[in-house]
Amino acid sequence: MSGSMGEGPITEAELQAYADGRLAPARRRAVDAWLAARPEEAERIADYRKLAEALRSAYDPVSAEALPSRFSRTRVRWRRYALVAGWTVFGFLIGGIAGWELRDARQILAPSPDVGVVMARRAAIAHATYSPEVRHPVEVGADQEGHLLAWLSKRLGAPLRAPKLEDMGYSLVGGRLLPGDNGPVAHFMYQTQKGTRITLYVRTEAAGSRETAFRYAEEGRVRVFYWVDRKLGYALSSGDIGKDELFKVANVVYQQLNP
Amino acid sequence: MNEAQRLVDLIPRLRRYARALVGDRATADDLVQDTLERAWAKLHLYRRGTDLRAWLFTVMHNVHVNRVRAARPTDLLEDEMPELAQRAAQSDTLLMRDLDRAIARLPAEQRSVLLLVTLEEMSYEEAARTLDVPIGTVMSRLSRAREKLRSMMLGQSTTAKLKLVK
């Protein structure tokens, strides 16, 4: 480049560090002396400094700009990522943001034309069909939970668990097998002491499915949070409770299925 | 400390770097958004206590490389860089409006190093870690980037002078 490498103990890397103001004082003085005898080199280094200043003054204003709205939207989306991808890391965040997130959730989640929408619709239909049942809400009751899980796991070809939602006020009623687009579907029902019911729809996903964040849909009066995790797709439905509460339950379900 | 908040706090710096890296605002913000989404998805791979900024810029670097690769199969090689017409030296006033274009003409690998060091003010070690290259590579790319930029912006490179002498 400039021939400076061979002319003495001052290296090109040191000149770069000098231009960046990062040399230790002793070396800096050595470079000062070296440059004093080489005006062209001194000019080159001075130009580097000017260029660095020009760069900063050209682009620093960007970091002072107000963040475009797409980033506040994105921020909400990340938090949903966080819920799914890093629950253990981010659990502490949730309480604070959940309400805010839910306010924005519809506008962000509305345009999601993926297969999950179909699952949400199927789950909503199943919920609407079975949750009003008084005498036969489930095929196998919670009193035979071991049998229920073994049976559904075998039919879906994946080890299933029924989340424990007692802390949220919901106890397992039982479950049933449903036909689905990708094969058999497991359908769990929970209810409160007052009889408020929620259902969890679990289906196997095609190989290579991506994990997704929580998504939200409404089908008629039924609200659904749905997501894909590893090989299974989940949809949690309710016709009676609000979105906020359903979201909280969905979080607990997700946590329990991903210890 | 909460990584989520720190990521959010780093957005303005990501945007500044991205703007200088790719030039136009929309593309830069697309890059930032892709980076942040990827960072969230990969946050479990971030080791606590290590440099979050370097990690995040590494994510951005990788996202950028993939985007460029997807956009055009063969990036310009350094040797194939089109020569710019030499501009007359303009006392010591830099042509600010040409800065964008000049930076865009730098080979991608040199541009990243120059921006991380001058704009982001990373140490050479941090820049090396961020780009996953040896520190010697950082230094040589920095040197080449500056000389190219200088020649484009100021028309005072040694090659230009040699040409003038002829």
A88 to chain B nearest CA, in Å? Answer: 9
pLDDT at A114: 57
Look up residue A176 and give its amino acid. Answer: R
**Structure confidence at residue A115 as a pLDDT band (50, 70, 90):** low
Number of domains in chain A: 2
Q: Note whether A37 and A113 are same-domain residues.
A: no
Q: Does residue A93 lie within any of the structural domains?
A: no
- CA gap B64, B108 in Å, rounded: 10
Q: Which backbone phi and psi does A130 adopt, to 5 degrees?
A: -95, -25
Q: Which residue has the higher pLDDT, A81 or A240?
A: A240
The answer to whether A85 contacts B43, with C-beta atoms less than 8 Å apart, is yes
Same-domain status, A37 and A148:
no
Looking at residue A196, what is its pLDDT? 92
Question: Which pLDDT does position A208 carry in this prediction?
Answer: 64
Q: Do A85 and B150 touch (CB under 8 A)?
A: no
Which structural domain range is residue A226 located in?
99-257
| Record: contact B43-A54, CB cut-off 8 A | no
Subunit contact B33:A71, Cβ cutoff 8 A = yes
Q: Mean pLDDT, to the nearest integer, of A49-76? A: 78
Q: Which residues contact A32 (CB under 8 A, 6 or more apart)?
A: none
Place of tokens 């949400």: A120
**Per-residue pLDDT for B159 more than 90?**
no
For residue A131, the domain's CATH number is 3.30.200.100
Picking from B37, B119, B124, the nearest residue to A59 by CB comes out as: B119
Mean pLDDT of chain A: 80
Number of Cβ within 10 Å of residue A156's Cβ equals 21
Q: Are residues A124 and A239 in the same domain?
A: yes
- Check if the beta carbon of residue B39 is closer than 8 Å to that of residue B59: yes
Instruction: Examine the fold and report which residue of A37, A62, A87 is the final residue of a domain before the chain moves on.
Output: A62
Judge whether B31 and A83 are in contact, CB under 8 Å: no
A232 in Cβ contact with A158 (< 8 Å): yes
Residue A162: its H or E element? none
Same domain, yes or no: A237 and A190 = yes
Question: Measured between alpha carbons, how far is A152 from A94 in angstroms, rounded to an integer?
Answer: 32
Name the strands in the sheet holding A222-229, side by side, starting at the edge strand that comes first in the sequence: A140-141, A171-178, A185-191, A197-204, A232-238, A222-229, A215-219
Is residue A58 located within the same domain as residue A112? no
Shared domain for A148 and A234, answered yes or no, is yes
* Verdict on whether the full-model pTM lies above 0.80: no
Torsion of CA A122, A148, A225, A86, to 10 degrees: -140
Q: Decide if A71 is inside a domain.
A: no
Predicted pLDDT of residue A169: 93
Do A160 and A233 lie in one domain? The reply is yes
Q: Are residues A137 and A22 in the same domain?
A: no
Instruction: Return the number of CB contacts < 8 Å for A and B.
Output: 119
Domain match, A16 and A118 both: no
Q: Are A45 and A51 in contact (CB under 8 A)?
A: no
The answer to which of A172-186, A209-223, A233-247 has the lowest mean pLDDT is A209-223
CB A116 within 8 A of CB A184: no
Specify the pLDDT at position A206: 72
- Give me the residue from A15, A59, A68 closest to B20, CB to CB: A59
Task: Tell me the per-residue pLDDT of A12-44, one tens digit each, with 9 for 90 and over.
Answer: 999 999 999 999 898 999 999 999 999 999 999
The reply to whether A136 falls in a domain is yes
Q: Do residues A244 and A102 make contact, with C-beta atoms less than 8 angstroms apart?
A: yes
**Mean pLDDT across the stretch A139-167?**
91
Residues 6+ apart with CB under 8 A from B40: A78, A81, A82, A85, A86, B7
pLDDT confidence bin for B71, thresholds 50/70/90: low
Tokens of A219: 């089908």
Co-location of A48 and A115 in the same domain: no
For residue A94, tell me if it sits in a domain.
no
Judgement on whether residues A146 and A239 belong to the same structural domain of the protein:
yes
The pLDDT, as a whole number, for residue A256 is 87
Contact at CB, A43 and B156, closer than 8 angstroms: yes
**A253 within some domain:** yes
- CB–CB of B114/B104 below 8 Å? no
Residue A160 sits in the same domain as residue A206? yes
End-to-end CA distance of chain B: 61
Q: Tell me, yes or no, whether A74 lies in a domain.
A: no
Res B23: pLDDT: 81
B96: pLDDT confidence band, cut at 50, 70 and 90?
low
Alpha helices in B43-82 (DSSP H): 52-71
The pLDDT of residue A255: 85
Exposure of B150 in the CB half-sphere (CA atoms within 13 A): 23
Q: What is the pLDDT of residue B98?
A: 74
In a mutational test of the B interface, the residue from A10, A47, A90, A97 whose CB has the highest number of chain B CBs within 10 Å is A47
Q: Are A58 and B2 within 8 A, CB to CB?
A: no
A72 inside domain: no
Which pLDDT score is estimated for B147? 94
> Quick one: tokens of B52?
């979050």
Is residue A90, in this structure, part of any structural domain at all?
A: no
Say how far apart CA A186 and CA A177 lie, in whole Å: 5
Both tokens of A20, joined, read 């960046």
Rounded Cα distance, A186 and A163, in Å: 13
pLDDT tens track for B11-35: 999 999 999 998 888 889 889 988 9
Q: What whole-number distance in Å separates Cα of residue A83 and Cα of residue A254? A: 9
B55 within 8 A of A96, measured Cβ to Cβ: no
8 A C-beta contact, residue A10 and residue A31: yes
B121-126, long-range: CB within 8 Å, 24+ apart, which pairs?
B122/B53, B122/B54, B122/B57, B123/A22, B124/A17, B124/A22, B126/B51, B126/B53, B126/B54
- Provide mean pLDDT across the span B125-131: 94
